Amino acid sequence: MMSEQGMETSSQETGAETPAPEPGGADTIEVTGTVKNYQADKGFGFIARHGEADVFFHISNLANPEVPPEVGQRVRFGLAPSKRKPGTLTAFNVRPEGEAARDTGSQGHG
């Protein structure tokens, strides 16, 4: 079993993006990142990932939409292909690092 840090290092070395399985599926991979920005008035933001492209997230993809993330906060999330921007990834089930995942039947926006 490879640690998350080891996964980041290997993806940096190969230049490969993190794979994007279906949200909520058995193959869902969770990763961590840092909230780069969040526009509460528009309901979306971006998460920075070490050595990889930033990931979009919508308020509907927050584990708890009533508690928006703060810029600089470490978060954990799943990745899925964007419905609106083919070839890019979107984050789902975004929550503070260390918080338990919720059951996500749908992916929300992306």
Over the chain, what is the mean pLDDT? 77
Residue pLDDT, tens place only, 53-97:
999 999 999 999 998 899 999 999 999 999 899 999 999 999 999
Residue, of 30 and 29, whose pLDDT is higher: 30
Could you tell me if 90 and 82 are in contact, meaning their C-beta atoms sit under 8 angstroms apart?
yes
So what's the pLDDT on residue 62? Answer: 95
Residue, of 39 and 104, whose pLDDT is higher: 39
Tokens representing residue 66 in the block: 């009533």
Tokens representing residue 37 in the block: 């920005």
Identity of the residue numbered 97: E
Could you tell me if 68 and 19 are in contact, meaning their C-beta atoms sit under 8 angstroms apart?
no
CA distance 63 to 38: 15
Domains located in the chain, CATH noted = 4-96 (2.40.50.140)
